[in-house]
């Protein structure tokens, strides 16, 4: 079910609002140079702290994606002291990235020692037991990338952890943890789904964001 374009064709959208949505995306994803150029071209005002914060968050994000989790942890403690103590799940994920890097480097003895010192304490909580078992199972394979847990070695996994860390740092600094664009899309999707359900109860066709963006 789609909305007649005549219902919104005459609704004016403020250019400043659109520009702020774009800037929010650039700041969130640490596109520092692009954000600087964008603010210069549009005349948008921005806080200098945002640019400094972006540079630091970008380094942390890159370290996490590259697998240099210990450096990411070190810089996180500088930028957001106490954050990882507060969010144990995130701390565990970062430590697990380092463990994986040791395994991939075939430093199995060092990986085992690291797990015993840094990861084992998390085993006191039931929610970490299965995760610990999956990571420790990697040691049993000569080629861990061919194991059933191969996804733990993937770039996608590191990117998910890095993105979670980025959102957490933003929230710690009292900044939105999601971009304005993401929040707007989520809100539009919920509203459209609700309207579709309410107006098309008999022949309900669920709203598809992907199809809407193609239209």
Domain membership of residue 104 (yes or no) is: yes
**Tens digit of pLDDT for each residue in 119-134?**
999 999 999 999 999 9
User: pTM, whole model, 2 decimals?
Assistant: 0.82
d(CA 158, CA 77): 19
What total number of domains does the chain contain? Answer: 1
**Tens digit of pLDDT for each residue in 19-60?**
888 888 888 888 888 888 888 888 887 665 666 688 899 999
Domain membership of residue 126 (yes or no) is: yes
CB 54 within 8 A of CB 35: yes
Residues 6+ apart with CB under 8 A from 139: 103, 108, 111, 112
Domain membership of residue 80 (yes or no) is: yes
Q: Residue 167: what pLDDT? A: 95
Which residue has better confidence, 209 or 71?
A: 71
Domain membership of residue 140 (yes or no) is: yes
Q: How many residues does the chain have?
A: 215
One DSSP character per residue, 32-62 reads HHHHHHHHHHHT----HHHHHHHHHHHHHHH
Which range of residues forms the domain containing residue 121? 47-180
- Alpha carbon distances (Å) from 153 to 67, 70, 119, 135, 166: 10, 16, 17, 10, 20
Distance between alpha carbon 63 and the CA centroid of its chain, in Å?
14
Domain membership of residue 76 (yes or no) is: yes
**Tens digit of pLDDT for each residue in 163-183?**
999 999 999 988 888 888 888
Domain membership of residue 35 (yes or no) is: no
Q: Residue 128: what pLDDT? A: 96
d(CA 99, CA 136): 9
Domain membership of residue 27 (yes or no) is: no
> Given pLDDT bands bounded at 50, 70 and 90, which one contains residue 136?
very high
């Amino acid at each position: 079910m789609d909305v007649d374009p005549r219902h919104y064709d005459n609704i004016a959208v403020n250019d400043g609002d659109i520009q702020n949505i774009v800037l929010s995306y650039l700041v969130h994803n640490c596109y520092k140079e692009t954000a600087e150029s964008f603010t210069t071209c549009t005349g948008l005002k921005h806080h200098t702290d945002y640019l400094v914060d972006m540079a630091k968050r970008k380094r942390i994000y890159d370290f996490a994606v590259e697998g240099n989790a210990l450096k990411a942890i070190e810089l996180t403690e500088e930028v957001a002291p106490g954050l990882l103590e507060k969010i144990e799940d995130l701390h565990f994920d970062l430590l697990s990235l380092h463990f994986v890097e040791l395994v991939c480097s075939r430093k199995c003895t060092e990986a085992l020692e690291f797990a015993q010192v840094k990861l084992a304490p998390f085993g006191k909580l039931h929610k970490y037991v299965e995760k610990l078992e999956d990571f420790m199972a990697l040691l049993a394979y000569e080629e861990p990338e061919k194991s059933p847990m191969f996804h733990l070695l993937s770039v996608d996994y590191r990117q998910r952890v890095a993105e979670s860390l980025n959102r957490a740092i933003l929230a710690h600094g009292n900044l939105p943890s999601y971009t304005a664009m993401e929040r707007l899309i989520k809100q539009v999707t919920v509203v459209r789904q609700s309207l579709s359900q309410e107006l098309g109860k008999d022949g309900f066709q669920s709203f598809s964001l992907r199809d809407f963006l193609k239209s």
